[in-house]
Amino acid sequence: MIDVVYGDFYTLSYAKGTGTKIFFSLLLSFVLVLSLIVPTASAKIKETKDASKAKRLHVQIVLFDGFDLLDVTAPYEVFAAAGMYSGEKVTVELVSAEGKRSVPSGLNGPSLEAQTALDPNRSGIILVPGAAGKPTGNTEDTIPNILRQPNETDLPDLMKQAFDNKEVTVATVCGGSLLLAMQGLLKDRHAVTHHIGMDALEAAGAIPVQARVVEDGPRLVSGGGVTSGLDVALYLVERELGPQIANAVETLFEYERRGTVWKAKGIAPIDFTTSQ
Amino acid sequence: MIDVVYGDFYTLSYAKGTGTKIFFSLLLSFVLVLSLIVPTASAKIKETKDASKAKRLHVQIVLFDGFDLLDVTAPYEVFAAAGMYSGEKVTVELVSAEGKRSVPSGLNGPSLEAQTALDPNRSGIILVPGAAGKPTGNTEDTIPNILRQPNETDLPDLMKQAFDNKEVTVATVCGGSLLLAMQGLLKDRHAVTHHIGMDALEAAGAIPVQARVVEDGPRLVSGGGVTSGLDVALYLVERELGPQIANAVETLFEYERRGTVWKAKGIAPIDFTTSQ
């Protein structure tokens, strides 16, 4: 488009046999037209460059025995749909600390197959779901007990490497942040978890924040209870690929992202819960 | 509680040596007290009876090749949580027309294991999900093509039996209603599907209704796009087990059911889209 405009401009400015007045009048018109057209054209070029250089995003979703099915499948499907709409710029796979294996979800739910081992050296997003189980009690099938079990595996070591990798964003849904906090990995980090687990999150050293989605720096994004996995994934799709892909996924899913993503930016609200 | 009250009443009314005036005064007081206590006591008894006679609800969720993962897992988890909160009054299983087998979800997504064959003679809910694939096009992996494939299996026959069974409610999520309509099973029935499929639903003989959840009679409940599976399942949990269990699941999932369930009841709104 720019070529065509410049082409006409040069043709005209070099046109012989026209009076100086007409020439300058035409020149002025074309400068005006150019001032309208060029920024649009530049924006279009910039947009195309942005799209072409948009890094491919790889998402690993971590499975462990007793994981919550919806914590995994909701973000899985958001990222898969983002891949579909972006010409496969997003890829997503299910992983486990132990490698390829069938992993049972909690409450005797269905199993999902981890396709490969969690790779903390691979750039992109590593998402940790919560567990499905009884909210409280002393039996093995309570959520706190299920979240404690991965401590005995390689997961804490792998997640520590993930946190050390500057090319990785760690995301969590529901009890996922509590799982990491129980492994000592969220010390002094802002995070949210399922509302039942907020006290436990604080006790494990994190700074609990009441929000649907919390971003602590760019490399830790946590979500609240179960269905917040939709919002965590939609936020990350927007952040990494822009609002158009995120909006397309929302439309496809007949869902609108919920809540302002909390970040330690801007002014903080006055705390009316403490005595002033 | 009623026994105790009547006991005291008879004891008093048969008490000898009290004056007639005192007796009638006391009688009047007790009638008043009874009029306050008995209805409450009756309500409590009725409530207990309601709870104890609450039928066990069995939910079969149908898997077919190319099913949409979230269409299945969102209602699965709602019903599973309702089971947890009701002392297992709700049970849910994944089924297929072919029986026990591993069924791949669409868009090369993870497989889920159908535990057994779909049984149209078993009372309860039979839920049919939609497909995951490209929304349009001519390739095999488009949603209309994936939805057409179960026509070649026993699913249409089994679903026809399900519709004939008065103890079964058929529920659908997303393309599930379109799948049934394409099998000729939704002729003149009110239903909703994913917004992209509404015209196809009408072309297949159903009456499309723009709503998050549509109930056609008590035995057909359909939902819109993907995430409406949460709303379909929460509505059915409330309908079958009452609002307290549904509310507990909502709280656990940090989700609030969306939309008024459309039914052919009450007055119909004036249609402003047709010329008056």
The crossing angle, in degrees rounded to 10, of helices B2-13 and B20-53 is 160
Least confident of A259-273, B29-43, B261-275: B29-43
Contact A171, A120 (CB under 8 A): no
Dihedral sign for Cα atoms in the order A225, A222, B259, A248? negative
User: How far apart (Å, rounded) are the C-alpha atoms in residues A263 and B208?
Assistant: 43
User: How many residues comprise chain A?
Assistant: 276
pLDDT greater at residue B77 or residue B7: B77
CATH topology for the B54-262 domain: Rossmann fold (3.40.50)
pTM as predicted: 0.81
What is residue A273's predicted lDDT score, i.e. its pLDDT?
86
Is the pLDDT assigned to residue B16 strictly greater than 70?
no
Burial class, B70, CB count within 10 angstroms (exposed 0-12 / middle 13-18 / buried 19+): buried
HSE (CB half, 13 Å, CA atoms) of B59? 28
Q: What is the pLDDT of residues A136-160, one digit of tens each?
A: 888 999 999 999 999 999 999 999 9
Q: Please report, for chain A, the start and end positions of each structural domain, with discontinuous segments joined by +.
A: 54-262
What is the DSSP code (8-state) at residue B42? H
Question: Burial level of A51, CB count in 10 A (0-12/13-18/19+)?
Answer: middle
Tell me which residue in B77, B84, B228 faces A254 most closely, judged by beta carbons: B228
The letter for the amino acid at B255 is Y
Return all residues near B69 (Cβ < 8 A) that are at least 6 apart.
Answer: A73, A76, A77, B105, B106, B109, B110, B112, B132
- Comparing CB atoms, the residue among B112, B225, B255 nearest residue A227 is B255
Residues from chain B that touch A69, judged by Cβ atoms under 8 A, are: 73, 76-77
Alpha helix (H) residue ranges in chain A: 2-13, 20-53, 69-85, 143-148, 155-164, 176-182, 198-203, 228-241, 243-253
Task: Please state the φ and ψ torsions of residue A213, each to the nearest 5 degrees.
Answer: -135, 135
- Considering only CB atoms, B226 lies closest to which of A94, A109, A253, namely A253
Cβ pair B77:A225 closer than 8 A: no
Q: Cα–Cα–Cα angle for B31, B32, B35, nearest 5°?
A: 85
Q: Three-state SS string across A192-241, please?
A: CCCHHHHHHHHHCCCEECCCCEEECCCCEEEECCCCHHHHHHHHHHHHHH
Give B223's strand partners.
B213
Residues B31-57, mean pLDDT to the nearest whole number: 52
Confidence (pLDDT) at B6: 36
With 0-12 / 13-18 / 19 or more C-beta atoms within 10 angstroms meaning exposed / middle / buried, residue B274 is exposed
B137 pLDDT tier (thresholds 50, 70, 90) = confident
Query: With an 8 Å Cβ cutoff, are B80 and A224 in contact?
Result: no
> Residues in chain A with pLDDT < 50?
1-19, 23, 26-28, 30-49, 51-52
What ipTM did this prediction achieve? Answer: 0.80
Contact B73/A70, CB-based, under 8 Å?
A: yes
> Using beta carbons and an 8 Å cutoff, which residues of B are at the interface with A?
68-70, 73-74, 76-77, 80, 84, 94, 107, 109-113, 132, 134-135, 194-195, 212, 224-228, 230, 252-255
**Chain B contacts of A68, Cβ < 8 Å?**
77
User: How many CB atoms sit inside 10 A of residue B16's CB?
Assistant: 4
Contact A225 B84 (CB under 8 A): no
pLDDT (tens digit, 9 = 90+) per residue, B72-129?
999 999 999 999 999 999 999 999 999 999 999 999 999 999 999 999 999 999 999 9
What are A205's two structure tokens? 């050293």
Nearest to B245 by CA among B103, B40, B130, B80: B80
Nearest beta carbon to residue B77 from set A69, A77, A212: A69
Q: Which residue has the tokens 């600390």?
A: A97
Q: Residue B221 — very low, low, confident or very high, per pLDDT cuts 50/70/90?
A: very high
